Amino acid sequence: MPCAKLLICDDHPPIRSAVTHIAKELNKDIEVVEAGNAVEALALLEQHPDIELMLLDLYMPGMNGLDLLSELKHRHASLPVVVLSSDESRATVIDALERGATGYICKSSPTDLLAKFLEHALKGNIALPTAIVSRSNAEAAADADSAQDSKRGAAASGLSPRQTNVLTCLLRGMSNKQIARKLGLAEGTVKTHIVAIFRALKVSSRAQAVIEASRRGFAVGDRYG
């Protein structure tokens, strides 16, 4: 399993301990660092530049997780951040994805399911609540005829290598400007690629793209280069 260092940011020590235990069960060599709030998390990220994945609670004292997500997008644009929250509302999941989260795990999930979601995240895959992905499928089915639906897989596999790179950056929560800098492209070129990606995935927003990519089993990939 590629992830070597994990940051857990949650104000409840028992939650941090439980997630640490699950992570160690999945990968005995993983190193886990813990933060109880946003300030501690930001400090640890400066002290440990080799952190490869962050698990983030949304409701903590001081800066909440959603605001921290926005801050992380500016400070650590390439860091995958997966939300770990008791809030299962679709609106909150969408908000987190729009702010740059690469996944969302519900704390109420049974231990075996929580372990499965965490394993996906540690491997660099997108982890989202099943209900969110399933609902997206239902909505898409209502909006698309059968001919369009049958072409979805082909459209995704038809992405060019450059569009795949842009999609990978997009799934890491990076802004157009950050993607342009990362890939050495003009910002206008990035926008053009994103339009093509949205068309291929049949979505109209970044959050929808993350959900659809999750449905297709798309890995975040090359997360730290």
151 has pLDDT over 70: no
Q: What is the pLDDT of residues 98-150, one digit of tens each?
A: 888 988 999 988 888 889 888 888 888 888 887 777 654 444 444 333 334 33
- Higher per-residue pLDDT: 153 or 188: 188
pLDDT of 220:
66
Residue 63 makes CB contacts below 8 A (sequence gap 6+) with 37, 38, 39, 71
Spatial contact of 87 and 39, defined as CB atoms under 8 Å apart: no
pLDDT of 134:
66
- For the range 82-85, what are the long-range contacts, defined as Cβ-Cβ under 8 Å and sequence gap of 24 or more? 82/53, 82/54, 82/55, 82/56, 82/121, 82/127, 83/55, 83/56, 83/57, 83/58, 84/8, 84/10, 84/15, 84/19, 84/55, 84/56, 84/57, 85/57, 85/58, 85/59
- CATH topology for 136-215 is Arc Repressor Mutant, subunit A (1.10.10)
Q: Which residue shows structure tokens 């530049």?
A: 49
Q: Does the domain formed by 5-132 have CATH 3.40.50.2300? A: yes
Q: Residue 43, Cα to own-chain centre: how many angstroms? A: 21
Which of 127-131, 153-157, 172-176, 219-223 has the highest average model confidence (pLDDT)? 172-176
Q: What is the pLDDT of residues 10-69, one digit of tens each?
A: 999 999 999 999 999 998 899 999 999 999 999 999 999 999 999 999 999 999 999 999
Kindly indicate the confidence band of residue 152, based on its pLDDT and cuts at 50, 70 and 90. very low
Spatial contact of 39 and 66, defined as CB atoms under 8 Å apart: no
Q: Where are the domains of the chain?
A: 5-132, 136-215
Nearest CA-CA partner of 80 in 100, 108, 107: 100
**Which pTM was predicted?**
0.75
> CA 63, CA 65: separation in Å to the nearest integer?
7
Kindly indicate the confidence band of residue 4, based on its pLDDT and cuts at 50, 70 and 90. confident
pLDDT of 77:
82
pLDDT of 81:
93
